[in-house]
């Protein structure tokens, strides 16, 4: 099959990010034709002027629609796209120059209907952004994005850096209304429809993620709330590892209480874990400041996700409540 790429990028009130992302498109080293579909999701701060400034250099469609969330906006963009293979990016990403070459070479040799790639911290990112990136990608916190090579066909791509064929999109209907969580939900439905997913290690993007601790906490809290909902929809995907952040935070609180009873070994175990985290962050970032901030990022990540997860479990499993009624902020209304 002759691959024809369309990049799908929803944006909401982030024209500056679109400017940086489109500039990175201009710097791609590939001689592979592609189009870019920018979907303005009901923004008050329009990106249209910035998009128009790149139209002499890039093949761009600019679409405006009422706000309906990132999942629906991606679907909207894919329906309008001319290509047969869609690459979905978040607006807060920057592409390395060899990104499209890497994707094309992989798919030409090992075609798959859906792929995902890792993210990395650009040298221009703030120390907080670099610390959050470490926390979200380290094997010591999330198991690492790279996963197990033996089970790469079960990799769940994330929509900040994700490719999907037109055939797979049409058969599954694309993303659902939940957010966050729309990307693992789509991955699971792809598997159920006979499609495979894969990780392309070298197809990374520079992903800014959240730029403040409060925004990061809100993000990971939602991640925790969403996971039990996905487990209810797709019970075959339940894993005990999803409980780890909750166990971690309650274990830490118990360890602190035990100090007053002169039982110190549990807190020593936590101290050793944080020491290993610090050394790992120092080795990867080469920055003392980032390494210290990484410890705070891990605590926020585990605390937010763990509390969100146990709250969602209690509401859904114990109180037997409807998730959409109890957590309306996680669902966009159907248009």
Are 93 and 62 part of one and the same domain? yes
**Alpha-carbon distances, residue 283 vs 104, 251, 309 (angstroms):** 32, 27, 31
Q: Are 89 and 8 in contact (CB under 8 A)?
A: yes
Domain count for the chain, please give it.
2
List the CATH number of the domain containing 30: 3.90.550.10
| 3-state helix vs strand vs coil in the chain, percent to 5 | 55, 15, 35
Q: Cis ω on the peptide bond leading into residue 180 (within 30° of 0)?
A: yes
> What is the predicted pLDDT for the residue at 5?
97
Asked whether residue 281 is domain-assigned, the answer is yes
Query: What is the distance between the terminal CA atoms of the chain, rounded to a whole angstrom?
Result: 34
Backbone dihedral region of 81: left (phi > 0), alpha (psi from -120 to 50 degrees) or beta? beta
Asked whether residue 252 is domain-assigned, the answer is yes
Asked whether residue 170 is domain-assigned, the answer is yes
Are 264 and 192 part of one and the same domain? no
- Whole-angstrom distance, CA of residue 189 vs CA of residue 175: 10
> What is the predicted pLDDT for the residue at 142?
81
Asked whether residue 287 is domain-assigned, the answer is yes
Are 227 and 289 part of one and the same domain? yes
Are 192 and 278 part of one and the same domain? no
Of 211, 240, 256, which residue constitutes the final position of a domain? 211
In tens digits, what is the pLDDT along the chain, a chain of 335 residues?
Answer: 799 999 999 999 999 999 999 999 999 987 899 999 999 999 999 999 999 999 999 999 999 999 999 999 999 999 999 999 999 999 999 999 999 999 999 999 999 999 999 988 888 889 999 999 999 989 899 875 444 444 444 788 999 999 999 999 999 999 999 999 999 999 999 999 999 999 999 999 998 876 789 999 999 999 999 999 999 999 998 889 899 999 999 999 999 999 999 999 999 999 999 999 999 999 999 999 999 999 999 999 999 999 999 999 999 999 999 999 999 999 987 65
Range of 266's domain? Answer: 223-330
Cβ atoms within 10 Å, residue 266: 16
Are 205 and 238 part of one and the same domain? no
Are 24 and 81 part of one and the same domain? yes
> What is the predicted pLDDT for the residue at 122?
80
């Amino acid at each position: 099959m002759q691959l024809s790429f369309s990049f799908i990028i929803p944006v909401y009130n982030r024209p500056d990010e679109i400017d940086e992302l489109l500039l990175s498109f201009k710097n791609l080293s590939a001689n592979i034709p592609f189009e870019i579909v920018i979907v303005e999701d009901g923004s008050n701060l329009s990106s249209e002027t910035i998009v128009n400034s790149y139209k002499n250099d890039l093949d761009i469609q600019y679409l405006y629609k009422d706000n309906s969330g990132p999942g629906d906006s991606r679907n909207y963009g894919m329906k309008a796209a001319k290509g047969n293979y869609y690459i979905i990016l978040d607006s807060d990403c920057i592409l390395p120059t060899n990104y499209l070459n890497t994707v094309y070479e992989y798919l030409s040799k090992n075609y798959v209907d859906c792929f995902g790639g890792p993210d990395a911290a650009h040298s221009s990112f703030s120390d907080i952004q670099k610390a959050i990136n470490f926390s979200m990608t380290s094997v010591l916190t999330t198991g690492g994005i790279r996963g197990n090579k033996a089970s790469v066909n079960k990799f769940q791509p994330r929509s900040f850096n994700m490719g999907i064929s037109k055939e797979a999109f049409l058969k599954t209907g694309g993303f659902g209304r939940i957010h966050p969580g729309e990307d693992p939900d789509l991955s699971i439905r792809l598997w159920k429809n006979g499609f495979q997913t894969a990780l392309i290690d070298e197809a990374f993007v520079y992903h800014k993620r959240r730029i403040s601790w409060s925004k990061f906490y809100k993000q990971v809290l939602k991640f925790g709330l969403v996971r039990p909902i996905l487990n209810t929809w797709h019970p075959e995907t339940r894993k005990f590892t999803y409980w780890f952040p909750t166990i971690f935070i309650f274990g830490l609180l118990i360890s602190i209480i035990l100090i007053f009873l002169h039982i110190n070994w549990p807190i020593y175990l936590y101290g050793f874990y944080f020491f290993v985290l610090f050394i790992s962050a120092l080795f990867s970032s080469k920055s003392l400041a980032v390494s210290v901030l990484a410890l705070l990022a891990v605590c926020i990540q585990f605390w937010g996700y763990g509390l969100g997860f146990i709250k969602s479990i209690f509401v859904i499993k114990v109180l037997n409540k409807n998730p959409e009624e109890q957590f309306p902020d996680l669902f966009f209304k159907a248009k």
